[in-house]
Homo-oligomer: A and B are copies of this chain.
Amino acid sequence: MARGTPVADLTRSIYLLWGHHPKPGRSGLTVPAIVEAGTELADAHGLAAVSMRKVAEHLGVGAMSLYGYVPGKEDLTALMTDAAYGELYDDVTAPTEAGNWREAMRFVARRNWELYERHPWLLEVRSPRPDLGPGVVGKYEAELRPLDGIGLSDVEMDSVLALILGHVADSARTHAQHVRENTGMTDVEWWDTVSPVLDQVMRGENLPVSGRVGATVGTEFQAATDPEHNFTFGLEVILDGVQARLD
């Protein structure tokens, strides 16, 4: 699928996101099937494992056949991303129904956290612009609603949501890197290896505070850090900060 002018490409991409895709041909290929295949691969082996060849193979089809349905890898990733975010809430009112704004934001944060656990590759997606598909747009509406009418300006609503979602993504990112034991060794093994070498090599460094804090954190969590603790702690700090702004 040849690339054209930037404007034409962009328009095509948006139409694609919003469900304008070609009917299945004689191989039975469809855009949703391609997206699903890509998502399965990404869930299982990370975003780097999603190559056009692998996706095609997974569908029993030649690599180049995909280009009849999807302009390229970038658009495939955008489709996967939007689909993943789209599965977050059954209904646009779900967060609102969780309770007051604080409980709603906890609900939102927890849901996003779980989404990143299910689809860690979402944290690797690096899109130059937001992928404004139906999933993302619906998510934004659902998450913004509980913040409406509690005393924040429109801009503040957007900023608060961005702050919370950013915090979730950041914690989840650390968590995902943390959990990935497949790539090498477990946390404990890693620390057991690193620790003595560090002790030797850092001899003579003057680190009174970080030395103490690092030791405490290590003892507390049996690891260099505990992303899940940081997630819940940070969330409450943020919510307290928002509350302070409301008063």
Q: A residues touching B (Cβ–Cβ < 8 Å)?
A: 6-7, 10-11, 14-15, 18, 92, 124, 126-130, 132, 134, 137-138, 140-141, 144-145, 148, 154-160, 162-163, 166-167, 169-171, 174, 177, 180, 183-185, 190, 193-194, 197-198, 201-202, 205-210, 212-214, 216-217, 220, 224-225, 229-230, 233-234, 236-245
Smallest beta-carbon distance A128→chain B, Å: 5
Q: Which 4 A-B pairs have the closest CB atoms?
A: A241-B241, A166-B170, A237-B241, A154-B216
Bound CA span A171–B166, Å: 8
A163 contacts B241, C-beta separation under 8 Å: no
Please give the distance in Å from A89's CB to the nearest CB on chain B: 13
A129 near B197: Cβ-Cβ < 8 Å: no
Which residue of chain B lies nearest to A206 when distances are taken between CB atoms in the complex?
A: B92
Q: Is the CB of B167 within 8 A of A166?
A: yes
A14 and B213 contacting across the interface, CB-CB below 8 Å: no
A132 touching B194 by the CB < 8 A rule? yes
**Among the listed B166, B177, B198, which residue makes an inter-chain contact with A126, where contact means beta carbons less than 8 Å apart?**
B177
Give bound CA distance, A230 to B236, whole Å.
19
A55→B230 CA distance, assembly (Å):
37
Q: List 19 A-B contacts (CB under 8 A).
A: A10-B193, A18-B202, A124-B126, A127-B177, A132-B198, A137-B207, A141-B207, A144-B209, A144-B210, A148-B209, A158-B214, A158-B225, A159-B229, A160-B237, A163-B167, A166-B166, A166-B171, A237-B244, A244-B244
Q: Say yes or no: A194-B225 contact (C-beta < 8 A), given A167-B163, A238-B237.
A: no
A183–B224 alpha-carbon span in the complex (Å): 37
